[in-house]
A = this chain, B = another copy of it.
Amino acid sequence: MKQIPANFSRPDTKERLLDAAERLFASDGFQGTSLRQLTAEAKANLAAVNYHFGSKEALLAAVFERRLLPLNELRSRNLQQLRLGAERPTSRQVLQAFVEPTLAFRDRDPGAEAFVRLVGRAIADPDDTLRKIFMRLMEPIFLLLYETLAEALPQLSRSDLFWRLHFALGALSHTMCLAGRFQIVPPGVTPAADAASLTSQVLDFLTAGMEASCS
């Protein structure tokens, strides 16, 4: 039972720490962010992280859990609904069930945008701390996505499906991580990155890749 804070407009310290952490971990990395930076950004005391979470690493885990548990719950409902439908789902529907919640959620609130970049980073990061925490939370939904795609694409061998899902998650994580922060843009191109057009662009690409015939 949480106490109602005296000042309604200001999130309590614990939440401010989570907000600052997802912002800084996303832009400077986990190892690249010191607790001094972090607590300053959150307008909290240096000792606050250890008081509320126990350690820097436990703070990172809390950052992931706060957003990922409800997001994966939504993805899971979407995928289960497709599996229970009367007709076999198309591969595009399956991919959409997984992708759409991410990009829609990214545009809903500004903190979520940083979080999505943090996730994009966590997938590629070789650092054990970051990746292990993330993978533990993602494993069930990855396996569910794999199984649902297998039903949508029965002609594909399990091994081919595995690789293609691997490629697709790479394209997705790269997009989530870097969308709107391009390093290199060819002259004359002004890429739009709103959720709706980005979703349909990425689904066109991924669906065609998943359904490609094998050479």
Contacts and interface: CB of A to CB of B under 8 A. Distances in A.
A178 interface: yes
Given A32-B31, A127-B28, A167 B174 contact: yes
A117 B138 CA distance: 22
Contacts of A85: none
A128 B202 CA distance: 27
B175 A173 contact: no
A167 B170 CA distance: 8
A207 to B, nearest CB: 7
A200 interface: yes
Prevailing SS type, chain A contact patch: helix
Copies of this chain per assembly: 2
Given A127-B29, A158-B186, A170-B174, A208 B212 contact: yes
Nearest to A31: B31
Nearest to A29: B127
A212 to B, nearest CB: 3
A53 interface: no
Contacts of A139: 183-184
A184 B121 contact: no
A131 B125 CA distance: 14
A154 interface: no
17 contacts: A26-B126, A28-B127, A123-B124, A124-B177, A124-B178, A139-B183, A159-B190, A162-B191, A163-B201, A164-B201, A166-B182, A167-B171, A169-B174, A170-B171, A171-B209, A204-B209, A208-B209
Given A167-B171, A204-B215, 15 more contacts: A124-B124, A124-B174, A135-B184, A158-B188, A158-B189, A162-B191, A163-B202, A166-B175, A167-B174, A167-B202, A174-B174, A204-B209, A205-B209, A208-B211, A208-B212
